[in-house]
Amino acid sequence: MNTERKPMSLQRLLDMHASGDKIAMLTCYDAAFATLLDEAGVDVLLIGDSLGNVLQGQSSTVPVTLEEMVYHTRCVARGRKSAWIIGDLPFDSYQASTAEAWKSAAALVKAGAHMVKLEGGGWTAPVVRYLVERGIPVCAHLGFTPQTVTALGGYKVQGRDEASAALLKKHAQELADAGAQMLVIEMIPAALAAELTQSLAIPVIGIGAGVGCSGQVLVLHDMLDVTPGRRPRFVKNFMQGASSVQDAVRRYVSEVKAQTFPQDDLHGY
């Protein structure tokens, strides 16, 4: 097992983006899986507010609290050895003011997160700048943003038309200019995602955004085929043909690195 990896750093992630080395990210919510994913070669562990769906059985991420995110971040940090840790800022923990965002982000960092993630563009740029200037790295999230699923009219691909694509590009550049050091883009056309990845100096991590991104992220329970119900188009069942959970995760890492996952015709838009 790969237990001697050097700790991942922000500079290494930036270097990977610059050199074209793909970044493998998965969601993670506890210490046991943190150890397993780390040893299987996952570069980044995301404590996603997706835990509301896959752990709590909620219909959306909105009910997840900051206290719950802190708890799961602390659990993941105890199991992690070398992977980079990102903690989601949940709904209603950063929208009211930059001061609220700081307090919430600081709580996740104290729990063990190396970086925090927030959703949306436009109004979020000042929040990103405020946090980064005070020493907290930030990952932005554009495209389909689960915390605002109702406002988006459901689980819909974003950036399909010229106007919405232009707005996504505008917001992405604003967030990078504000100091965001990473960007997650979800459910947008592969061509647009590739264009964003080429234009930005920061890693762009795709989920349902094609193979042209700096790296990929999936919800752990989705790629292990344990999430009940229908899964999104961009998910692949890595347990199929695998001898163990760790084997499935290793296959995911290998396919992301080799750019054989995702396949735009099967998993993209």
The whole-angstrom separation of Cα 225 and Cα 54 is 11
> Any known ligand binding at 265?
no
The H or E element spanning position 45 is strand 44-47
> Any known ligand binding at 49?
yes
> Any known ligand binding at 117?
yes
> Any known ligand binding at 236?
no
Q: Which pair of tokens denotes residue 8?
A: 């991942």
- Polymer length in residues for the chain: 269
Angle subtended at Cα 90 by Cα 106 and Cα 191, rounded to the nearest 5 degrees: 110
How far CA 253 is from CA of 27, 46, 111, 126, 247, in Å, comes to 13, 15, 26, 34, 10
Whose structure tokens read 């647009």? 192
Known catalytic membership, residue 186: yes
> Any known ligand binding at 30?
no
**Do residues 195 and 169 touch, judged by C-beta distance below 8 A?**
yes
The whole-angstrom separation of Cα 98 and Cα 106 is 12
The one catalytic residue in 68, 174, 186, 255 is 186
Residues 6+ apart with CB under 8 A from 214: 16, 17, 22, 23, 197, 203, 204, 205
Q: Which of 130, 132, 152, 133 is nearest to 142 (CA)?
A: 152
Summarize the annotated binding site for 3-methyl-2-oxobutanoate as residue ranges: 49-50, 88, 117
What residues are labeled active site? 186
Summarize the annotated binding site for Mg(2+) as residue ranges: 49, 88, 119
